[in-house]
Amino acid sequence: MKSDFQLQQISTMLKHLLMALKHCNRYRDLKDLSYDINTDEVVITFYGYMKEDYTREIFTARVNVKDKSYADLIHDVENYLHRFFSRED
């Protein structure tokens, strides 16, 4: 179980990572990065396509970061996002 201090560190890292990634055009549809303490996963929330009523769908993905260092956590999240947003339709 992570301490309150560790959870605060992870939350701060993810907020800063989100800000940095949103400055990259490829990741402009990111909505949020958060840490789920129950599953040891980073929850990635992003916007989908525009619907007919001019709202956007919201999708989530999860990256397992159990027993990872903070550097590995960031690396795994970035790798997932790179693979996901680099796919060609």
Position 88 scores a pLDDT of 61
pLDDT digits (tens, 9 = 90+) for 12-71: 999 999 999 999 888 989 999 999 999 999 999 999 888 899 899 999 999 999 999 999
Give yes or no for residue 82 having a pLDDT over 60: yes
Structure-token pair, residue 45: 């929330």
